[in-house]
Amino acid sequence: MAMIPTDLTIDPALRPQAESLLSKTRKDIQEMEAEDVLKTIHIFQLRLIELTVQNEALRLAQSDAELSRQQYCNFFDFAPVGYLLLDEDSAIIKANIMAASFLGCEGDVLKKQKLSKFISAKFQDAYHLHFRDVFRTGSPGSCELQLANNDVLRIQVSSHTINAPDPVCLTTISDITNIR
């Protein structure tokens, strides 16, 4: 006689639904012939094994997805260029470590601040035209800017911006101070 698995756990959120369905099938089983009950048990055992295998495959896929997410986060956060996700008003939604370093702030401090706050006065018009054109046309754009903190020159950067869904845009900033 086959052993009944004891390591099965039912999600507490699903248990009431499972109990309800089980109570409906108990009446059907009581009216069945012994041979039909054995066939039904066999089908349930097969289904249990299938679900166990599927559950393990799902756990592996979830683990792979988590690894991919972590790799993406590392790729984004530790890239050698600054990555910024900006909303349609040029407010920073997310910034990687290099962008935060270029802007002289911690990443969380940057959230909801306008990128223009970190651009020196002499480059404000160029930045606003660049940003507006990317949002209006949907075409990628590039420009050179000077980043400043309280209008003290920090670095000269090359900025590349593309439109993305939601509406947001993705901007990269690369230090070109030593090239100029």
Averaged over successive runs of 10 residues, the pLDDT of the chain (180 residues) comes to: 57 80 69 84 92 95 96 91 93 94 86 93 94 90 88 83 88 90
User: Which domain covers residue 25, as residue numbers?
Assistant: 15-75
The amino acid present at 50, given as its one-letter code, is E
pLDDT of residue 109: 87
What are the backbone dihedrals phi and psi of residue 104, each rounded to the nearest 5 degrees, phi first? Answer: 75, 30
170 and 84 in a common domain: yes
63 shares its domain with 84: no
Contacts 24+ apart (CB under 8 A), 121-130: 121/148, 121/151, 122/146, 127/159, 130/159, 130/161
Which of 35, 57, 50, 79 lies closest to 170 in space, CA to CA? 79
The verdict on 41 and 90 lying in the same domain is no
Q: Which of 28, 57, 75 is the last residue of a domain?
A: 75
87 and 129 assigned to the same domain: yes
pLDDT at 99: 94
Q: What's residue 123's pLDDT?
A: 94
Structural domains in the chain (count): 2
Whether 133 and 46 map to the same domain: the answer is: no
What pLDDT shows up at residue 17?
Answer: 81
pTM of the model: 0.68
